[in-house]
Structure 1
Amino acid sequence: MRDEVDSLAHKSPSRFAILVFSALIMVFTVLFSLPIAAADRTITPLHDAVFTAVSVICVTGLTTVDMATHWSAFGNILVFIGVNIGGIGVLTLASLMGLVISRRLGLRAKLMAASDSNPSRIHAGPVNEGQTVRLGEVGSLLLTVAISAFVIEVSVAALLFPRMLQAGAPLGEAVWHSFYYAAMAFTNTGFNPNPGGLSPFADDYWFLGALMIGVFLGSLGFPVIYAFARGWRKPRRWSVHVKLTLVTTIALMILGMIFYIILEFDNPKTFGSLNAGDTIFQSLFMSVMTRSGGFATIEVSDLNGSSLLLTDMLMFIGGGSASTAGGIKVTTLAILFLAAFAEARGKQEMEAFGRRIPSDILRLSVSVVLWGATTVAVASILILHISKQPFDVVLFDVISAFATCGLSTGLTADLPPEGVYVMAATMFMGRVGTVTLAAALAASHSRQLFKRPEERPIVG
């Protein structure tokens, strides 16, 4: 078995990663289908079990059943374990599985783990730049993944626990719900363990602030957390990837907050009845959660149409590379803007923080956006045909599925089985990653040793 794993990983690390991810979804589908997983001890329908398994492993947060009441204690434990496994990442997870089976972390496994922090390694093989984590540091990265996930979830749970007790929860339930919420925040999933969701804590800014901290740290990405662990006192030594991730993430948080204030301050169903301070905080909470967190203190369907479109944009962008968040990633957006600025200034090369960014990274970014937009477009067409619902509602839930965000207008829960399977496939495509999937489907990498005559088509 070890030889077979080594052979598969040698031929195509990305296909091996997708195989591991698919196998996990199949295993969890079977487990969620068992009568012991349901609160009423009945067999969960196949489409609901499949969707829940994909949503859990892909750390999405969308659901077709009531997560607080449908599952038994065994089912909730499955959810908790599944989101932590899925939050590790496709390629890092495959690397850990390969390490367990083959009992060594060879060059191919190191390349696979490094790819999760730097997708260009999948696209064009090993690269020389140290934008995220160098190949020799992969062992430390894997250790950082495990330690950071544990420390952050425990810390967030410790912040939530007193508020659970103040809300009147019994001791055992307070401990369980604290760790459950902490895991859902760090993995950017957004499931709620109680039937009322966040309603009991809608005005508890300590509770909501702790959730925002967990979501923010989870959305940064393990390479960024690794950079902090190595040298948080020396920001000048941080890589371009770390700086781009931080700058773009904070900029999107602030801009999102400002736009939510402008668009929703007079909406009586959302923030219209709040004072200025509450409106600012709730807008910040919404801005953080729309980029993959999945928690909400309001009904998403009550948002204005303009706010739904803004949320679509933020969800599609998502969080940092190699993070628990989804979307096309903030660094992809940053690269596109850097390319636009370079073109406007008449420069042939992109630059950021005193470093030159190669052109192949731009091609990779364009590919990610194109594949993501194509996935969203195809899924939207299919869901529109199946559900006959308004376009803005369908687009919102489809982007939420692709970006593994978890916010919903209520459409997903009312879909027929065929629509549920389409949404499950969309979540899988979004979590696995467009770059990883494209690399897995490529039969071989060919190198062209000649150049054809150049001709410039008209663009724009």
Structure 2
Amino acid sequence: MKQLRSSPGARLHHNGGAGLARRLSGLVTSAPARTAAVMFVLVIALFTALLAMPFSSATGEPTALVDAAVTATSAVTVTGLTSVPTADHFSLTGQLLILAAIQLGGLGIVTLGAWLTMLVSRRLSLRSKILSVESLGVSGLGEAPALLLTVLIFTLSIEAMLAAVMLPVFIGQLGPGQGVFHAVFYAISSFSNAGFTLSTATLDHPLIMTTINVGVFAGSLGFPVVYMLYRMLFRKARMNLHTRLTLEVTLILLIGGAVLMAVFEWNNPDTLGSMGTTEKLHSALFASGMTRSGGFNIYDVADQTDQSLLVTNVLMFIGGGSGSTAGGIKVTTLAVLLLAILTEIRGDEHVRIHRREISDTTVRVAVAVVAAGALLVLTSVVALTVVTGKDLQTTLFEALSAFGTVGLSNGLTASAPESGQWILAALMFIGRIGTISFAAGLATRHRPTRYRYPAERPIIG
């Protein structure tokens, strides 16, 4: 039998193609943060294409590319800012696509990819474990598979419970078909901290408000905290410092924000002024929870007093817990930064809290995150004021909402020109990926320092 041999040209072409594929694969996967960013981009591009199709529109006409891109980015990054109304512009198919994008974003594209890998191979590869550790913030590679399982079970269980609680109210308001869809939609949207709504008129029911607030609070804690609480409950583990700081700061911000909202809006006829005392307190607590990541609202945020808008801006910039569906600089970043400041004021040498010591590296990362976030928001605000012609207050609010993936809007996303909408879409993307992860993803490799210079101390202040 005559043996067939490939020609040198064919082998060269094959080897060249394989080499190119390996180089492209290495470029994408050489760093976990870059892989996460690329995965998010690909998923956003897919949903942009689907939402732009005629079948996703209520009128049967194709949706403009920028509107589809803003909606897809907002859904995958679980933000809630939209340039077109979700309920009126999109068909049932389009709304289901948005819901699927929210669910993927809530679980995290990285988490879902690693989870599918584990299902197929029954064990995570080293690269997938590293990716999961960096994305979710667990302390060791060995915890990644158990954490991913906890993420999936906890997410689906909480969403099912939220939907079950809201189901009777929505069925009574909208009927069986729409009632079931609304209950599932708001359960996923609230736990994912997405802020997408089908109709704000259905949110003013006390049970719906409470359920959404609980869902947003649970989603904003972060999966590492959830995993720690699970281990404490079933394996008698001790609470780690990250979980304790997250719970403490989250509760302080939630209650403190509610008190300030109630004080500043108590007599405002456009917000809380026309409500009874109990309803005012309930609405203030709801508003405080939504400003940090949820994005739902029962009144127009533009009607708030200037003091409440300032409080809202601060809370949106802080965001939720690390490894959660929320954006912003994260509550643990704020905690570490405040502890470092307090340590300097006291004159102590090390940052200590709850009989634990926080490393200098962690403090430097916290400072870098805050500085990078502030610089990003500042740059975006300048760009938005130029392209939209709006005032500083309007553009700052919308930029912080996009960066914190909150979703509260004063109408700028819908009214901005295409250039402004692209800026907000990019801000949502960077806010979801995280400023440090996004910067790390752009670096091709980490170069260790092989030598050091003599130390000096510049004068500060």
TM-score by length of 1: 0.92
Query: 1:87 aligned to 2:106?
Result: yes
SS in 2 for 1:459: coil
Match of 2:388 in 1: 387
SS in 1 for 2:93: helix
Where do 1:118-197 residues align within 5 Å? Answer: 118=137, 132-167=138-173, 169-194=174-199, 197=200
Match of 1:291 in 2: 292
Per-residue displacement from partner, 1:166-185 (whole Å, max 9, x unpaired)? 32x11111111100000110
Change over 3 Å in CA distance of 1:92–1:200 after alignment to 2:
closer
Change over 3 Å in CA distance of 1:392–1:10 after alignment to 2:
closer
Match of 1:327 in 2: 328
Query: 1:377 aligned to 2:383?
Result: no
Change over 3 Å in CA distance of 1:3–1:136 after alignment to 2:
farther
Match of 2:253 in 1: 252
State the 1:99 CA deviation: 5.3
Where do 1:244-283 residues align within 5 Å? Answer: 244-283=245-284
Query: 1:32 aligned to 2:24?
Result: no
Conservation of the 8 A alpha-carbon contact between 1:5 and 1:102: no
Query: Alignment RMSD, CA only?
Result: 2.0
State the 1:6 CA deviation: 7.3
Per-residue displacement from partner, 1:288-339 (whole Å, max 9, x unpaired)? 0000100001111100111111100000000000101111100000000110
Conservation of the 8 A alpha-carbon contact between 2:53 and 2:63: yes
Change over 3 Å in CA distance of 1:334–1:109 after alignment to 2:
same
Matched AA of 1:165: I
Bigger mean CA deviation after superposition, 225-234 or 281-290: 225-234
Matched AA of 1:49: A
Bigger mean CA deviation after superposition, 232-241 or 358-367: 232-241
Conservation of the 8 A alpha-carbon contact between 2:30 and 2:445: no
Q: For the residues of structure 1 that align with 2:102 and 2:23, how far apart are their CA atoms?
A: 28
Match of 1:123 in 2: none
State the 1:102 CA deviation: 7.6
Match of 1:19 in 2: 38
State the 1:396 CA deviation: 0.3
Query: 1:71 aligned to 2:90?
Result: yes
State the 1:272 CA deviation: 1.5
2:136 aligned residue (117, 120, 142) = 117
Change over 3 Å in CA distance of 1:393–1:344 after alignment to 2:
same
State the 1:117 CA deviation: 2.4
Matched AA of 2:294: G
SS in 2 for 1:69: helix
Per-residue displacement from partner, 1:268-297 (whole Å, max 9, x unpaired)? 111122232222111110000000100001
Q: For the residues of structure 2 that align with 1:164 and 1:385, how far apart are their CA atoms?
A: 43
SS in 1 for 2:260: helix
Q: For the residues of structure 2 that align with 1:5 and 1:96, how far apart are their CA atoms?
A: 24
State the 1:72 CA deviation: 0.9
Conservation of the 8 A alpha-carbon contact between 1:16 and 1:94: no
Query: 1:48 aligned to 2:64?
Result: no
State the 1:232 CA deviation: 3.0
Match of 2:211 in 1: 210
Matched AA of 2:279: D
Matched AA of 1:306: Q
SS in 2 for 1:140: helix
Change over 3 Å in CA distance of 1:357–1:267 after alignment to 2:
same
Per-residue displacement from partner, 1:101-149 (whole Å, max 9, x unpaired)? 888521121011011222xxxxxxxxxxxxx443201001111111111
Q: For the residues of structure 2 that align with 1:107 and 1:354, how far apart are their CA atoms?
A: 33
Conservation of the 8 A alpha-carbon contact between 2:191 and 2:219: yes
State the 1:374 CA deviation: 1.1
TM-score by length of 2: 0.92
- Give aligned pairs, total: 442
Matched AA of 1:151: S
State which structure, 1 or 2, has the greater radius of gyration over its C-alpha atoms. Answer: 2
Q: For the residues of structure 2 that align with 1:222 and 1:16, how far apart are their CA atoms?
A: 20
Per-residue displacement from partner, 1:26-75 (whole Å, max 9, x unpaired)? 11111011100111110000110111110011110000001011111111
SS in 2 for 1:322: coil
Bigger mean CA deviation after superposition, 344-353 or 394-403: 344-353
SS in 2 for 1:409: coil
State the 1:342 CA deviation: 1.1
Conservation of the 8 A alpha-carbon contact between 2:74 and 2:82: yes
Q: For the residues of structure 2 that align with 1:360 and 1:102, how far apart are their CA atoms?
A: 36
Q: For the residues of structure 2 that align with 1:213 and 1:92, how far apart are their CA atoms?
A: 23
State the 1:406 CA deviation: 0.3
Matched AA of 1:86: G
Change over 3 Å in CA distance of 1:20–1:99 after alignment to 2:
farther
Conservation of the 8 A alpha-carbon contact between 2:31 and 2:445: no
Q: For the residues of structure 1 that align with 2:177 and 2:321, how far apart are their CA atoms?
A: 34
Query: 1:341 aligned to 2:347?
Result: no
Conservation of the 8 A alpha-carbon contact between 1:379 and 1:426: yes
Per-residue displacement from partner, 1:393-442 (whole Å, max 9, x unpaired)? 11001100011000001111101111111110111110111111111122
Conservation of the 8 A alpha-carbon contact between 2:172 and 2:179: no
Q: For the residues of structure 2 that align with 1:424 and 1:332, how far apart are their CA atoms?
A: 24
Contiguous gaps of at least 5 residues in structure 1: 119-131
SS in 2 for 1:356: strand
Match of 1:366 in 2: 367
Per-residue displacement from partner, 1:222-267 (whole Å, max 9, x unpaired)? 1111112121378881110100100000000011011111111121
Q: For the residues of structure 2 that align with 1:400 and 1:188, how far apart are their CA atoms?
A: 12
Conservation of the 8 A alpha-carbon contact between 1:38 and 1:71: yes
Per-residue displacement from partner, 1:332-389 (whole Å, max 9, x unpaired)? 0000011011111211211121111111011111111111111111111111011111
Conservation of the 8 A alpha-carbon contact between 1:114 and 1:138: yes
Matched AA of 2:159: E
Contiguous gaps of at least 5 residues in structure 2: 1-17
Conservation of the 8 A alpha-carbon contact between 1:17 and 1:94: no
